[in-house]
Structure 1
Amino acid sequence: MYNISRILGGAAIALAAFAGALSSAHAAPRTDFKVCTSIYAGWMPWGEAQAQGILAKWGKKYGITINAVQLNDYVESINQYTAGKFDGCTMTNMDALTIPAAGGVDSTALIVGDYSNGNDGIVLKGKNKKLADIKGQSVQLVEFSVSHYLLARALETAGLRERDVKVVNTSDADITAAFATPAVTSTVTWNPMLSSIAASPDVSLVYTSKQLPGEIMDLMVVNTKTLQENPAFGKALTGAWYEMMAIMSAKDERATRALTAMGKASGTDLAGFQAQLAATAMFYQPKAALEFATKKELPGIMGRIAKFSFDHGILGPNVKSADGIGIAFDGNVVIGDKKNVKLRFDPAYMKMAADGKL
């Protein structure tokens, strides 16, 4: 098909295109899918679902296979999803907007797994420090991520602006080691890195996401077109997730084994992982997730994040305003450009789980 325009006439091209479209329309549904995830308390259940065969079990129920792949660099995992190498990926609500959606990839928040309730924070070197002490410092963080958003929101509360600090972009894979160097005096990060850094001697945890309840959400995001063409993919993913949630919240020996395994996989032990979960507002029941995903405040939260993202130039050069990308919610509510919807909070599969219809 290379350079076909030099070989075929216009009519032949049109015929070939029609035949291709017809073939595509009647193509058999896909049966193999891949999702990626990274190290974070709210996302570790995906790796455990893979290890326990729960993803395989739900895939078999719907005649498909799903593999969950852990990537250690968070931003790189989203980049690979955006590039089409994965059908789904774990990410925050802000990063879903600023990377795949801003990159033109129509994406759906299939599952709202939790929101950060202390899992993200700002740490300064020195005892008894306050947030205001960050003024004039260089702050290491993953630039343009939720850490950057958390910093901006925190600075507002202290009567400061971003120009009062210097942001130093640092990969999440390097952030703990960087903070251990004498030159670095402040950082913004998430667990498990946050717990490790905050446990260091002579430091102060001066602000956390607990002060922004519900604003930093942790999602399983999937390609909208893939989901629409393969609803079995959405059903299997959702079913596997809530089976893992039931295991984790059972408070029995199986739960302990699963939590211990997730802690080890994230570089800590059972107690450390439980501490991270304590700072995570997990939606163990699909009904709770459904209630959160359909609440009336959600469009306002995303509107605030869209404004932050536009103001920082991270929606791309083609987006001319904070409303340039459409974001859809339950009840046919859309904020932003209705002709350019690229991020969808679709509660349909969570509702299936809540209604026992998976």
Structure 2
Amino acid sequence: MNKQVPAFAFAGWITCILAIGILVEPVVSAELINLKLGYSVWVGYGPLFIARDKGYFKEEGLNVELIKAEDPKNRFAALAAGQLDGLVSTLDTMTLYWKPETPFVAILGLDDSSGGDGILVKKEINAFEDLKGKTVAVNVGSVSHFFLSYLLQQNGMSDADLKLHKMSQGDAAAAIVAGRVDAAVTWQPHLSKAAKEPNVKLLITSKETPGLIADVLILHRGVLAGNPEVGYRLVRAWNKSIEYYKANPDDAAAIMAKGLGGFYEKPEDIKADLAGATLYDKERNAQFFNGSGPGTALATVKFAIDLWTQLGQISAPIKPEDLVDATYLEK
């Protein structure tokens, strides 16, 4: 984390104002803290571009560079190498990359999937239990696998009850449409597009599992140790962005579409995906971080650690409390 030193400073206070009894707050330094944050193209990360383009980061004394890196493995590798100060990802994914020698922590919830992830099936499949023995396309080790595993556990099943075919979310949707698999775990926009096909239907979506698939803002603990104010400032900038989105949804969607790019070609694409996602404001973050029941950050992290450990994805023990920190939330 680097700092940009201002080229000027104020010489003093305006004493005449003080003389008439008006209190003057200290002058805020023009010094900006430089931060590099990694992201991928997803509507839940869109408010970061509102914070950038509306000047909310600058208002908080931050100069934030948003760096696109679609593969979470590359984002976390860059964080460990000191090439990034932080990143955005899902809670379950961050548990796969946490190590004592490269500690990082989630300080803010950004959004959760409330219909943006789901399972597509052939028309003849009517219940989750009907998937037993069936061929299911899923990106193994991804958030889609996490979603599927949670549902399997809830229904007294496991991966062993299915015939898993490893493929990307886009390929999984194409496979179910082509009839090559019985079911596919995927996300938007593939979910809605494939569900329109006559031989395919939606079995279940993340709307029925609130808080399970949640995106968070993650910072390296070294960044916070060097300047704890960074956490508070990022949170305030995010909250301003969410309030701007609430008050100006059309302009906010245009800013997010332009910033994110990728498959978001126009504001309407943003609005469509927001139908399957819940953006986190100050109140929702308070609920998400300050508790341990279903749908909270701690509960989701604990489940993810247990699940990935069972599946052999995590070998070293991890404490859920090491991965989430509510300290920086705006009161």
TM-score range relative to shorter protein: 0.7 to 0.9
The question of 1:267 aligning with 2:264 is answered yes
Q: Contact 2:253–2:271 (CA<8 Å) still a contact in 1? A: no
The question of 1:204 aligning with 2:206 is answered no
Q: Which runs of 5+ in 2 are unaligned?
A: 1-30
- The aligned counterpart of 2:87 is 89
Change (3 A) 1:191 1:161: same
- The aligned counterpart of 1:72 is 70
The alpha carbon displacement at 1:111 in A equals 0.9
The alpha carbon displacement at 1:306 in A equals 1.8
Instruction: Give the Cα–Cα distance (whole angstroms) in 1 for the partners of residues 268 and 109 of structure 2.
Output: 25
Change (3 A) 1:32 1:117: same
- The aligned counterpart of 1:119 is 116
- The aligned counterpart of 2:326 is 347
The question of 1:221 aligning with 2:218 is answered yes
Q: Contact 1:30–1:230 (CA<8 Å) still a contact in 2? A: no
Identity in percent:
24
The alpha carbon displacement at 1:178 in A equals 5.1
The alpha carbon displacement at 1:219 in A equals 0.3
- The aligned counterpart of 1:18 is none
Instruction: Give the Cα–Cα distance (whole angstroms) in 2 for the partners of residues 76 and 182 of structure 1.
Output: 33
- The aligned counterpart of 1:325 is 318
| 2:37 partner letter | V
The equivalent position to 2:149 in structure 1, one of 149, 152, 164, is: 152
The question of 1:246 aligning with 2:246 is answered no
Q: Contact 1:125–1:185 (CA<8 Å) still a contact in 2? A: yes
Change (3 A) 1:141 1:104: farther
| 1:86 partner letter | L
Q: Contact 2:137–2:165 (CA<8 Å) still a contact in 1? A: yes
- The aligned counterpart of 2:308 is 309
Q: Contact 2:177–2:199 (CA<8 Å) still a contact in 1? A: no
Q: Contact 1:45–1:262 (CA<8 Å) still a contact in 2? A: no
Change (3 A) 1:221 1:159: same
Change (3 A) 1:269 1:303: same
The question of 1:188 aligning with 2:185 is answered yes
Change (3 A) 1:263 1:162: same
TM-score, scaled to structure 2: 0.77
Q: Contact 1:73–1:173 (CA<8 Å) still a contact in 2? A: no
Instruction: Give the Cα–Cα distance (whole angstroms) in 2 for the partners of residues 102 and 197 of structure 1.
Output: 38
Q: Contact 1:127–1:202 (CA<8 Å) still a contact in 2? A: no
SS at the partner of 1:249? helix
SS at the partner of 1:349? coil
Q: Which runs of 5+ in 1 are unaligned?
A: 1-28, 329-340
Per-residue displacement from partner, 1:219-240 (whole Å, max 9, x unpaired)?
0111111122123432342233
The question of 1:288 aligning with 2:284 is answered yes
Change (3 A) 1:168 1:88: farther
| 2:167 partner letter | T
SS at the partner of 2:312? coil
Change (3 A) 1:144 1:31: same
The alpha carbon displacement at 1:247 in A equals 1.5
Change (3 A) 1:268 1:192: farther
CA RMSD of aligned residues (A): 3.0
The alpha carbon displacement at 1:95 in A equals 1.0
TM-score, scaled to structure 1: 0.72
The equivalent position to 2:130 in structure 1, one of 133, 136, 144, is: 133
1:35-74 equivalences under 5 Å are: 35-50=37-52, 52=53, 54=55, 57-58=58-59, 61-62=60-61, 64-74=62-72
The alpha carbon displacement at 1:70 in A equals 2.0
Counting matched residue pairs gives 298
Q: Contact 1:125–1:203 (CA<8 Å) still a contact in 2? A: yes
Instruction: Give the Cα–Cα distance (whole angstroms) in 1 for the partners of residues 88 and 192 of structure 2.
Output: 21
Instruction: Give the Cα–Cα distance (whole angstroms) in 2 for the partners of residues 33 and 220 of structure 1.
Output: 13
Instruction: Give the Cα–Cα distance (whole angstroms) in 1 for the partners of residues 253 and 37 of structure 2.
Output: 25
SS at the partner of 2:247? coil
Q: Contact 1:89–1:222 (CA<8 Å) still a contact in 2? A: yes
Instruction: Give the Cα–Cα distance (whole angstroms) in 2 for the partners of residues 143 and 202 of structure 1.
Output: 25
1:11-26 equivalences under 5 Å are: none
